[in-house]
Amino acid sequence: MTDTSAARTPREPAPEHPAETTAQRARLSWSRVVLALGSNLGNRLETLQGAIDEIADTPGVTLQRVSPVYETDPVGGPEQGTYFNAVVEVRTLLTPDLILERANSIEEAFQRVRVERWGPRTLDVDVIWFEHVTRDDPRLTLPHPRAHERSFVLAPWYDIDPEAELPGHGPIADLLARVGPAGVHRRDDLELTADR
């Protein structure tokens, strides 16, 4: 197929920046994205709320939905304390790479230190699903390569979007039924808020 993105017809508006192509401008549309948050060190609830506030403060990102909090048994890694997990849905103008960059910088703001794989952490922010995007890149795999088998992701996600589907794996309702409810407990006595 011929790439006609650089060819402009006389009726097409001039780019705002001389180097900006039609294709680049077309990318400025809102995408839905699901992010998963986890914490098992320090004040877990305060950390999750702080991360949500940072996400909401990100230019080009609007927070749509925040899940209930789940207390969950650690999966993998060394012996460690239980996690608080939650999921948020946002809409964004940012690219997947920029969303990952932002997720990593929010982790760093909460003194996340990478010591060992699946080890305890103050904050983990994973990109679970990015509308219309699948990719195999190890720096950013979409959807998240382990989301389909993680009840600590599926249970809170199901609460805010029971119809959601994971590309390549099917409806999250089916995935959640498959992994079962063991090790995840909804903490209805705790709340995260979208509007602070």
Ligand X SMILES: Nc1ncnc2c1ncn2[C@@H]1O[C@H](COP(=O)(O)OP(=O)(O)OP(=O)(O)O)[C@@H](O)[C@H]1O
Ligand Y SMILES: Nc1nc2c(c(=O)[nH]1)N=C(CO)CN2
| Active site (catalytic) residues | 112, 121, 124, 126
Phi/psi class of residue 152: alpha, beta or left (left: φ > 0; alpha: ψ in -120 to 50)? alpha
Q: Is 30 in the site for ligand Y (CB under 6 A)?
A: no
Q: Select the residue whose beta carbon is closest to ligand Y and give its number.
A: 38
Q: Is 140 in the site for ligand Y (CB under 6 A)?
A: no
Q: Which stretch binds ligand Y (CB under 6 A): 1-9, 60-68, 74-82, 105-113?
A: 74-82
Q: Which stretch binds ligand Y (CB under 6 A): 21-29, 66-74, 127-135, 159-167?
A: 66-74
Q: Are the beta carbons of 85 and 69 closer than 8 angstroms? A: yes
Q: Among residues 149, 132, 134, 126, which one has the least CA distance to residue 34?
A: 126
User: Could you tell which of ligand Y, ligand X, none binds residue 135, using a CB distance below 5 to 8 A set by kind?
Assistant: none
User: Could you tell which of ligand X, ligand Y, none binds residue 170, using a CB distance below 5 to 8 A set by kind?
Assistant: none
Q: Over the Cα atoms of the chain, what is R_g?
A: 19
**Between 83 and 130, CB nearer to ligand Y:** 83
Q: Is 110 in the site for ligand Y (CB under 6 A)?
A: no
- Residue among 152, 154, 175, 176 that touches ligand Y (CB under 6 A): 152
Q: Is 75 in the site for ligand Y (CB under 6 A)?
A: yes
Q: Among residues 25, 24, 102, 110, which one has the least CA distance to residue 61?
A: 102
Contact residues for ligand X (CB under 6 A)?
100, 114, 117-118, 124, 126-127, 139-142, 144, 146
Q: 193: which 2 tokens?
A: 């808020």
- Residue 109 φ then ψ, to 5°: -60, -25
Q: With 0-12 CB in 10 A as exposed, 13-18 as middle and 19+ as buried, what is 28?
A: exposed
Q: How far is the CB of 120 from ligand X (least distance, A)?
A: 10
Rounded to whole angstroms, what are the CA distances from 57 to 19, 27, 106?
Answer: 29, 22, 11
Q: How far is the CB of 76 from ligand Y (least distance, A)?
A: 5
Note the residues at the interface with ligand Y (CB under 6 A): 38, 72-77, 83, 85, 118, 124, 152
